[in-house]
Amino acid sequence: MKTITIQGLAAPVSQLIMGTDFFRLNNPDEVSDIMDKYLAIGGNTLDTGFIYCGGESEQAIGKWLDENNKHGEINVLTKGAHHDANGPRVNATAIRSDLMISLERLHTDYVALYALHRDDPEVPVGPILEALNEHIEAGRIGAIGASNWSHERLQAAAEYASQHGIIGFSFSSPNLSLAKANEPFWMNCVSIDAEGLKWYEEHQLPLLSWSAQARGFFSGRFTPENRDNADLVRVFYSDENWERLRRAEELAKKKGLSAIQIALAYVLNQPFPTCALIGPRSEEEMRSCQQGAELELTATEMAWLDLSEK
């Protein structure tokens, strides 16, 4: 599997990152089976978060790492400082609390990748980066990143880090997919638009995309008339996205693949480093992801898929 390099990590990161929001303590056989399949295609990085499954995702990962002696071989990306019922909590206290609990759940004293799960634009970037740098210096974190931060805030963070001689964000994890979001999936989530794509290309910041395959929009299960999935209707139903789907199907037919594999390839063929967070639950789905990740698209094909060319 192809990999990318993230500043702060000695090990590369596989372009397909395994999502673990279904990893729980009561399904160890499924976790083990999926991990065997993921490792078999060359994957080496897991995505989790402090809030996933009420903490069970991190606990299940820690248990699996212990039982398979994989600490140090697998990159773990976890996230913290998510908002709660009282509102934003992107601050040094919340970061420390969430990180220390995450490390305990993961049965480790170090996590390769740590991201802030949400942003709070009311908080200056300086204190946030300073707090994260303390944990890098303490050896608890390899690389820091931001999930669901706008490119404007990422730019401000990069400028602060440069001006103050500290470590800035080495990666970002918003939504990027061939289907463009009409509105956020959840409050304060960020999906990349054309302006954002230009910024990432200019700055070459690695982007780890969640919902890279648009939550099944390209699976063939949905049509403009099928409005059973309210969230998918709200976020992805648009004339432009139906045309993107049509083009993905046309290109897939030429290449002997499926539209959803074309959609995955679109994310992984950007002119800047990218990874895709995936969530396959079967051998067939895992192999589909592998085949999509192996596909190389030309710049002309990318522009045509995204409606930049007729």
Inside any domain, residue 254: no
Inside any domain, residue 228: no
The tens digit of pLDDT for each residue in 222-239 reads: 999 999 999 999 999 999
Range of the domain at 114: 3-217+268-299
**How does DSSP classify residue 181?**
P
Inside any domain, residue 307: no
Low-confidence ranges of the chain (pLDDT < 70): none
Inside any domain, residue 119: yes
Q: How many CB atoms lie within 10 A of CB 62?
A: 20
Domain count of the chain?
1
Give the tokens for residue 34. Answer: 């999926």
Inside any domain, residue 276: yes
Q: Where are the alpha helices (DSSP H) in the chain?
A: 28-40, 56-67, 92-105, 125-137, 151-164, 194-203, 230-236, 239-255, 259-268, 283-294, 299-305
The answer to whether 176 touches 207, Cβ cutoff 8 Å, is yes
> For tokens 């982007």, what's the residue?
207
Return the biggest CA–CA distance within the chain.
55
Give the tokens for residue 123. Answer: 């908080």
Look up the CATH number of the domain holding residue 111. 3.20.20.100
Cα 275 from Cα 244, distance rounded (Å): 21
The tens digit of pLDDT for each residue in 60-77 reads: 999 999 999 999 999 999
Residue 187's pLDDT is 87
